[in-house]
Amino acid sequence: MDTKRGTDKEKESRIDWGIIFCVLMLALIGLASIYVAATHDSSATSVLRQVVSQLVWYVIGIVAVIIIMQFDSEQLWKVAPIAYWLGILLLASVLVLYSRTYYVNTGAKSWFSLAGLTFQPSEVMKPAYILMLGRVIVEHNDRHPLKTAKSDWLLIGKMILWTVPIAVLLKLQNDFGTMLVFFAILGGMIIVSGITWKIILPSVITIFGIAGTALALVIPEAGRKILEKIGFQAYQFNRVDTWLHPSADTSNQGYQLWQSMKAIGSGGIFGTGFNQSHVYVPVRESDMIFSVIGENFGFIGSCVLIFLYFLLIYQMIKVTFETRNVFYAYISTGVIMMILFHVFENVGMSIGLLPLTGIPLPFVSAGGSALIGNMIGIGLIMSMQYHNKSYMFGEDKEFS
């Protein structure tokens, strides 16, 4: 009996309750916000269906976390290429089997639809991509222990090579927003991969220079023609125009952003109160859910939400510093960048600081695909903590 109790306590000590607390609080905020959005935008039956549906996705996500926690780094290492190529297969398949309804509404071929359920494969591709990049970095550093400019550029080339198929498929799906998330993950993992800053810093400056040039070209008509030739589309120009001039067309292209800013502004310091929404915002149950939080719970509620994200990121960083396994450390970096970019972009676009991209708020926005993708990421972090504790006084599992 004592042995069993000791084993149970030892298992409990390997679970990061700080991460669980943050995700649970975000989930509760999400359910409350979805309820508010659905109450004002849907029938009573639809309200119950949306809330219950999201609750079911949370349960599925919890099961996914528990399962992934059981995988140690060696098992994740073996799974990485399988998960990556399976994800590529799904991304390619959706180009043919995409939901026609979602395509008409969004212009993107990103969703499967079956029996009323929709699924976006790019969301679960994110953790698979993180696993694969982590493996690529470890393998490269093992083969090139002596760092040189040539080996660093070779590593960057390898990481880009594994990113290109995803970028191409997302371009064909017309999903530029999700592509940005993968680029953010790539950037974060390059920074921690051991590549010298003599390469990273000029590269970052060059990227920002290219982005700035593209933005400058959006303004004049001649510049837009140049961008059209390299693949930019009308809706992307419209989003930039809306971002730069949110009040110029509040009844058409700028309607969603303008309404979101009005809703958040009307919340003031303390908010209008739970379920007291007076400003309609399109798609506020998912992409624009921050407007619900800003209106109902005000500046204080918004700050609490952002604090929870900072606390979650802090817990993840703490776990990363505790591990002796470099593969786990790279995985953690990718997950952190994924969540951080989602939060930064979603909040930024809701208040007009960044262009609209359709990127959901992690653990809060309605939608099963994004939630499962994020919960898989949490499972990977929890696996790191769970197995790191068991190795604390045993064999070092670091890949070398």
Q: Are 331 and 135 in contact (CB under 8 A)?
A: no
What is the rounded distance in angstroms from the CA atom of residue 205 to the CA atom of residue 210? 9
Percent of the chain with pLDDT over 90: 62
pLDDT of residue 105: 76
For range 216-229, the mean pLDDT: 72
Q: Which of 70-74, 241-245, 384-388 has the highest mean pLDDT?
A: 70-74
pLDDT of residue 167: 96
Structure-model confidence comparison of residues 373 and 251, the more confident one: 373
pLDDT of residue 393: 35
Please determine, for residue 219, whether its predicted confidence score (pLDDT) is greater than 90. Answer: no
Residue 167 lies in a domain: yes
Residue 254 lies in a domain: yes
Total domains in the fold of the chain:
1
Residue 88 lies in a domain: yes
pLDDT, tens only, 74-129: 999 999 999 999 999 999 999 998 888 878 777 788 888 877 788 899 999 999 99
**Domain of 264?**
2-194+249-390
pLDDT of residue 62: 96
For range 1-7, the mean pLDDT: 53
What is the rounded distance in angstroms from the CA atom of residue 261 to the CA atom of residue 62? 33
Please determine, for residue 311, whether its predicted confidence score (pLDDT) is greater than 80. Answer: yes
Q: Are 214 and 220 in contact (CB under 8 A)?
A: no
* pLDDT tier for residue 288 given thresholds of 50, 70 and 90: very high
Residue 121: Cβ-neighbour burial (10 angstroms; 0-12, 13-18, 19+):
buried
CB atoms within 10 A of CB 259: 18
pLDDT, tens only, 155-193: 999 999 999 999 999 999 989 899 999 999 999 999 999
pLDDT of residue 47: 87
Residue 286 lies in a domain: yes
Residue 73 lies in a domain: yes
Please determine, for residue 11, whether its predicted confidence score (pLDDT) is greater than 50. Answer: yes
Q: Are 128 and 83 in contact (CB under 8 A)?
A: yes
Phi, psi of 368 (to 5 degrees): -80, -40
CB atoms within 10 A of CB 162: 17
Please determine, for residue 390, whether its predicted confidence score (pLDDT) is greater than 50. Answer: no
Residue 229 lies in a domain: no
For range 25-31, the mean pLDDT: 97
Q: What is the mean pLDDT of the chain?
A: 88
pLDDT of residue 391: 44
- The answer to whether the predicted template modeling score (pTM) of the entire model surpasses 0.75 is yes
Q: Are 173 and 179 in contact (CB under 8 A)?
A: no
pLDDT of residue 394: 41
Query: Exposure string (b/e) for 169-205, b if CB count within 10 Å is 16 or more?
Result: bbeebebbbbbebbbbbbbbbbebbebeeeebeeeee
Residue 65 lies in a domain: yes
Residue 207 lies in a domain: no
* pLDDT tier for residue 392 given thresholds of 50, 70 and 90: very low
